[in-house]
Protein backbone atom coordinates (compact mmCIF):
# COMPACT_ATOMS: atom_id res chain seq x y z
CA UNK A 1 0.00 0.00 0.00
CA UNK A 2 1.10 3.53 -0.70
CA UNK A 3 1.99 5.59 2.40
CA UNK A 4 -0.72 8.16 1.62
CA UNK A 5 -3.48 5.52 1.34
CA UNK A 6 -4.41 5.14 5.03
CA UNK A 7 -4.78 8.86 5.84
CA UNK A 8 -6.92 9.29 2.71
CA UNK A 9 -9.00 6.26 3.72
CA UNK A 10 -9.50 7.74 7.20
CA UNK A 11 -10.59 11.08 5.74
CA UNK A 12 -13.03 9.35 3.40
CA UNK A 13 -14.45 7.40 6.34
CA UNK A 14 -15.02 10.61 8.31
CA UNK A 15 -16.65 12.27 5.29
CA UNK A 16 -18.90 9.25 4.77
CA UNK A 17 -19.89 9.24 8.43
CA UNK A 18 -20.69 12.97 8.27
CA UNK A 19 -22.81 12.46 5.14
CA UNK A 20 -24.75 9.64 6.74
CA UNK A 21 -25.36 11.70 9.89
CA UNK A 22 -26.56 14.72 7.91
CA UNK A 23 -28.98 12.66 5.86
CA UNK A 24 -30.18 10.75 8.92
CA UNK A 25 -30.83 13.93 10.86
CA UNK A 26 -32.64 15.62 7.99
CA UNK A 27 -34.78 12.55 7.44
CA UNK A 28 -33.77 12.23 3.81
CA UNK A 29 -34.26 8.90 2.11
CA UNK A 30 -30.56 8.39 1.45
CA UNK A 31 -29.99 4.74 0.57
CA UNK A 32 -26.47 3.44 0.26
CA UNK A 33 -24.89 0.17 -0.76
CA UNK A 34 -21.52 -1.42 -0.17
CA UNK A 35 -19.40 -3.81 -2.22
CA UNK A 36 -16.31 -5.89 -1.57
CA UNK A 37 -14.15 -5.40 -4.69
CA UNK A 38 -11.68 -8.08 -3.63
CA UNK A 39 -14.43 -10.67 -3.36
CA UNK A 40 -15.82 -9.61 -6.73
CA UNK A 41 -12.40 -10.05 -8.35
CA UNK A 42 -11.71 -13.42 -6.74
CA UNK A 43 -15.17 -14.98 -7.06
CA UNK A 44 -16.64 -13.71 -10.33
CA UNK A 45 -16.08 -15.64 -13.55
CA UNK A 46 -14.87 -12.48 -15.24
CA UNK A 47 -12.43 -11.70 -12.44
CA UNK A 48 -11.07 -15.27 -12.48
CA UNK A 49 -10.75 -15.11 -16.26
CA UNK A 50 -8.77 -11.86 -16.10
CA UNK A 51 -6.54 -13.28 -13.35
CA UNK A 52 -5.82 -16.36 -15.47
CA UNK A 53 -4.91 -14.16 -18.45
CA UNK A 54 -2.56 -12.05 -16.34
CA UNK A 55 -0.94 -15.14 -14.79
CA UNK A 56 -0.45 -16.73 -18.22
CA UNK A 57 1.16 -13.53 -19.50
CA UNK A 58 3.35 -13.37 -16.37
CA UNK A 59 4.58 -16.93 -16.99
CA UNK A 60 5.28 -16.13 -20.64
CA UNK A 61 7.18 -12.94 -19.77
CA UNK A 62 9.19 -14.66 -17.01
CA UNK A 63 10.30 -17.36 -19.44
CA UNK A 64 11.40 -14.75 -21.97
CA UNK A 65 13.06 -12.63 -19.26
CA UNK A 66 15.11 -15.59 -17.96
CA UNK A 67 16.33 -16.29 -21.48
CA UNK A 68 17.23 -12.61 -21.96
CA UNK A 69 19.07 -12.57 -18.60
CA UNK A 70 21.08 -15.62 -19.65
CA UNK A 71 22.04 -13.73 -22.79
CA UNK A 72 22.92 -10.67 -20.63
CA UNK A 73 20.36 -8.54 -22.52
CA UNK A 74 19.18 -6.16 -19.78
CA UNK A 75 17.41 -3.91 -22.30
CA UNK A 76 15.21 -6.84 -23.34
CA UNK A 77 14.44 -7.69 -19.71
CA UNK A 78 13.38 -4.08 -19.06
CA UNK A 79 11.25 -4.08 -22.21
CA UNK A 80 9.54 -7.33 -21.15
CA UNK A 81 8.81 -6.00 -17.66
CA UNK A 82 7.25 -2.84 -19.11
CA UNK A 83 5.23 -4.96 -21.54
CA UNK A 84 3.83 -7.04 -18.69
CA UNK A 85 3.07 -4.00 -16.52
CA UNK A 86 1.18 -2.39 -19.41
CA UNK A 87 -0.77 -5.60 -20.10
CA UNK A 88 -1.67 -6.07 -16.41
CA UNK A 89 -2.76 -2.43 -16.07
CA UNK A 90 -4.96 -2.66 -19.18
CA UNK A 91 -6.63 -5.81 -17.83
CA UNK A 92 -7.14 -4.21 -14.42
CA UNK A 93 -8.64 -1.07 -15.98
CA UNK A 94 -10.93 -3.11 -18.25
CA UNK A 95 -12.17 -5.22 -15.34
CA UNK A 96 -12.71 -2.16 -13.14
CA UNK A 97 -14.75 -0.50 -15.90
CA UNK A 98 -16.98 -3.56 -16.33
CA UNK A 99 -17.35 -4.02 -12.57
CA UNK A 100 -18.23 -0.35 -12.03
CA UNK A 101 -20.81 -0.50 -14.84
CA UNK A 102 -22.51 -3.48 -13.18
CA UNK A 103 -22.41 -1.77 -9.80
CA UNK A 104 -24.07 1.29 -11.36
CA UNK A 105 -26.77 -0.85 -13.01
CA UNK A 106 -27.59 -2.61 -9.75
CA UNK A 107 -27.52 0.65 -7.79
CA UNK A 108 -29.97 2.25 -10.21
CA UNK A 109 -32.27 -0.77 -10.07
CA UNK A 110 -32.21 -0.73 -6.23
CA UNK A 111 -32.51 3.09 -6.21
CA UNK A 112 -29.32 3.52 -4.21
CA UNK A 113 -27.88 7.02 -3.98
CA UNK A 114 -24.30 5.84 -3.43
CA UNK A 115 -22.24 2.64 -3.32
CA UNK A 116 -19.01 2.52 -1.32
CA UNK A 117 -16.23 -0.06 -1.04
CA UNK A 118 -16.76 -2.15 2.07
CA UNK A 119 -13.37 -1.17 3.54
CA UNK A 120 -14.33 2.54 3.59
CA UNK A 121 -17.41 2.01 5.75
CA UNK A 122 -17.02 1.33 9.47
CA UNK A 123 -20.30 -0.57 9.65
CA UNK A 124 -22.86 -1.66 7.11
CA UNK A 125 -25.83 -3.94 7.59
CA UNK A 126 -25.62 -6.97 5.31
CA UNK A 127 -28.84 -5.86 3.62
CA UNK A 128 -26.96 -3.02 1.89
CA UNK A 129 -24.17 -5.29 0.59
CA UNK A 130 -24.61 -5.81 -3.16
CA UNK A 131 -21.37 -7.77 -3.70
CA UNK A 132 -23.07 -11.08 -4.51
CA UNK A 133 -25.38 -9.40 -7.00
CA UNK A 134 -22.40 -7.85 -8.78
CA UNK A 135 -20.65 -11.24 -8.89
CA UNK A 136 -23.73 -12.82 -10.49
CA UNK A 137 -24.00 -9.93 -12.97
CA UNK A 138 -20.38 -10.48 -14.06
CA UNK A 139 -21.02 -14.14 -14.97
pLDDT in tens, 53-64: 999 999 998 888
Q: Distance (Å, rounded) from C-alpha 118 to C-alpha 132?
A: 13
Q: 92-116: per-residue pLDDT in tens? A: 989 889 989 999 999 999 888 888 8
> How much is the average pLDDT of 121-137?
82
More confident of the two residues 37 and 127: 37
Q: Number of helices (H) and strands (E) in the chain: give both, helices first.
A: 5, 2
Q: Which of 139, 110, 135 is nearest to 37 (CA)?
A: 135
Q: How much is the pTM?
A: 0.69
How far apart are alpha carbons 7 and 86 in whole angstroms?
Answer: 28
**Rounded Cα–Cα distance for residues 125 and 127 (Å):** 5
* DSSP per position, 15-77: HHHHHHHHHHHHT----EEEE-HHHHHHHSHHHHHHHHHHHHHHHHHHHHHHHHHHTT-HHHH
Report the distance separating Cα 35 and Cα 131, nearest Å: 5
pLDDT tens for 25-36 read 555 566 888 888
Most confident of the following: 24-28, 29-33, 47-51, 67-71: 47-51
Amino acid sequence: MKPWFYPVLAILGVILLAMVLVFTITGSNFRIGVVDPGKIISESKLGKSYAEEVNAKRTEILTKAKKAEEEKDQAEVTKLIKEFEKFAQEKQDDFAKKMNNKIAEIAKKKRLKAVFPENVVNYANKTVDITDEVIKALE
